[in-house]
Amino acid sequence: MSRKLWLPVLLIVALLIAGCGPRPTPTATTAPGATAAPAPTTAPAPTATPAGPSGELEIFSWWTAGGEAEGLAALLKVFQQRYPNVKVINATVAGGAGVDARAVLATRMQGGNPPGSFQVHAGHELIDTYVVAGQMEPVTFLYQEEGWLDVYPKDLVEILSYNGEIWSVPVNIHRANVLWYNKAIFEQNNLKPPTTMEEFFAVAEQLKAAGITPLALGETWTVVHLFETVLLGTLGPEGYSGLWTGKTDWKGAKVTEALNNFDRMLNYVNQDYAALSWDQATQLVIDGKAAMNIMGDWAEGYFKAQGWTPGKEFGWAPSPGSAGAFDALSDSFGLPKNAPNRDAVIAWLRVCGSREGQDAFNPIKGSIPARTDADRSLYDAYLQSAMDDFAKDTIVPSLMHGAAVAPSWQQDIIDAVGLFLANRNVATFQNALAQACVSAGVCK
């Protein structure tokens, strides 16, 4: 009897020993798409200098879905042409907006095992998470060496900066303050896309009378997204940016006006918004069940994927009141302290910031390059108009997409918006927002 039992004991011990051994990184795969990617039309003949860096380079991102994965592959291809001696490990963690990727990254950074370089939302999500923790190296020297200070807009560089240094290299720009509309519905009702808040309410009233939901809305984060564009549309770019630095008073009359506008706007949305994801909300516009949708310009990719052509079936305009302002968010890459193979990381960052790299990545991903000197002919009508606005508008940081504030402040604002949806009390809402600014240590 007892002899029979020794076998399971041995098995358990063996399993325990095996469990304690070093595990292979399950998410790391050698870049599969690096050769299979559609070749970007501008990619020049490989002019690689064999004397570049060598060894392995791990690139960490959450670009796994359609469009984005191919974009990354195109960018990696440019990198491999320039630096053929570096072996790229394309480490991706699936999950929209990088929630899971961020948790994996955080443990690796805490454990002193940083990847070569990682994708992160430019601005406070990077700065307040990793830069203040002393886990990043500044990359200001790259901007000086590569002359990027001349080709990146000044407002953007400001969003990337902290303590007089620049902390990451953006590869793309998305715009948050865009109003998308169904052209057929607007023509049938003889409407023009609204440019101001008052025009929006007039248009919305007419649509409501015609029995069409004026504005399509989705789950809580898209409500916060809408809220941020209302703040921008009411306060203007300067007032909006001041909210995140303490220059604009959260208790002021202008903010009250914005909150009232937001409150009024919520009267014109689909009643089941809390149950819809952002793309389901956009789908309402495509189905003709709603006339407008305020969403970032990744919605353009969704319209196109459903077979709609920009300017033909759907039109776009800056969200009400926000013409002249470009509410930006950006995916960027940085240089972690103690990164393995630092030379290769720097080479990677040079490619990320290069015109060639950005023109390879962005037309596929469906975003515009962070540089202002890209090749316009590669981009569609919407993206071209976004590039024009990006070059001339005032650029402000996005709240919901990590550029404007630290994650903890952002969560307080999300909570305040959530509670406002429950009680619709503007005064309580404004107090909660003012309190959030105080907890964040920005307001007094």
Partner 1 sequence: MRIRKDHLLAVALISPSALAIAIFVYGFIGWTARASVSAWKGLIPDYTFVGLSNFIDLFRNPRFQIDLRNTAIFTVLFLAACLTIGLVLAILLDQRPRGEGIFRNIYLFPMAVSFISTGVVWRWLLNPATTLDRLSGLNLLFHKAGLDFLISRWYTHPKLGIAAIVIPATWQMSGFTMALYLAGLRSIPEELREAARVDGASEWQIYRDIVFPMLKPVTLSAVIILGHISLKIFDLVMAITQEGGQGYSADVPALNMYYTAFRALRFGQGSAIAIIILLTVAVLVIPYLIHTIRTEVER
Q: Footprint of partner 1 on residues 109-128 (CB under 8 A)? A: 109-110, 128
Alpha carbons 117 and 27: distance in angstroms, whole number:
15
Candidate segments 99-107, 140-148, 309-317, 363-371, binder of partner 1 by CB under 8 A: 99-107
Letters for 129-168 (x = contact with partner 1 by CB under 8 A, - = none) are xx-xx-x---------------------------------
Which one, 89 or 269, has the nearer CB to partner 1?
269
The residue written with tokens 């999950």 in the block is 95
Which one, 199 or 279, has the nearer CB to partner 1?
279
The residue written with tokens 């290769």 in the block is 344
Closest residue by Cα to residue 329 from 123, 188, 153, 152: 123
For the sheet containing 213-216, what is the strand order? 213-216, 290-294, 178-182, 314-318
Which one, 171 or 269, has the nearer CB to partner 1?
269
Which one, 50 or 112, has the nearer CB to partner 1?
112
With CB under 8 A as the contact rule, the residue among 79, 250, 273, 316 that binds partner 1 is 273
Q: Which amino acid makes up residue 56? A: E
Cα–Cα separations (whole angstroms), residue 207 to 50, 82, 217, 318, 442: 63, 54, 16, 19, 41
Which one, 4 or 312, has the nearer CB to partner 1?
4
Candidate segments 20-28, 44-52, 98-106, 178-186, binder of partner 1 by CB under 8 A: 98-106
**Nearest-approach distance from CB 429 to partner 1, in angstroms:** 11
**Nearest-approach distance from CB 265 to partner 1, in angstroms:** 16
With CB under 8 A as the contact rule, the residue among 11, 274, 391, 438 that binds partner 1 is 274
Cα–Cα separations (whole angstroms), residue 243 to 55, 137, 261: 45, 28, 17
Contacts 24+ apart (CB under 8 A), 129-132: 129/406, 129/407, 130/334, 130/336, 131/162, 131/167
With CB under 8 A as the contact rule, the residue among 419, 426, 434, 442 that binds partner 1 is 419
Would you tell me how many other CB atoms lie within 10 Å of the CB of residue 443? 18
Candidate segments 142-150, 152-160, 214-222, 339-347, binder of partner 1 by CB under 8 A: 214-222
**Nearest-approach distance from CB 82 to partner 1, in angstroms:** 33
Which one, 150 or 272, has the nearer CB to partner 1?
272
Are 320 and 195 in contact by the 8 Å Cβ rule? The answer is yes
Are 244 and 404 in contact by the 8 Å Cβ rule? The answer is yes
Q: Does 11 bind partner 1 (CB under 8 A)?
A: no
Q: Does 2 bind partner 1 (CB under 8 A)?
A: yes
Question: Is 199 exposed, middle or buried (CB count within 10 Å of its CB: 0-12, 13-18, 19+)?
Answer: middle
Q: Does 94 bind partner 1 (CB under 8 A)?
A: no
Structure tokens at 342: 């630092």
Candidate segments 144-152, 213-221, 234-242, 386-394, binder of partner 1 by CB under 8 A: 213-221
For residue 358, how many C-alpha atoms fall within 13 Å in the half-sphere facing its CB?
A: 28
What are the residues binding partner 1 (CB under 8 A)? 2, 5-6, 8-9, 12-13, 16, 99, 103, 106, 109-110, 128-130, 132-133, 135, 219-221, 270-275, 289, 407-408, 410-412, 415, 418-423, 432
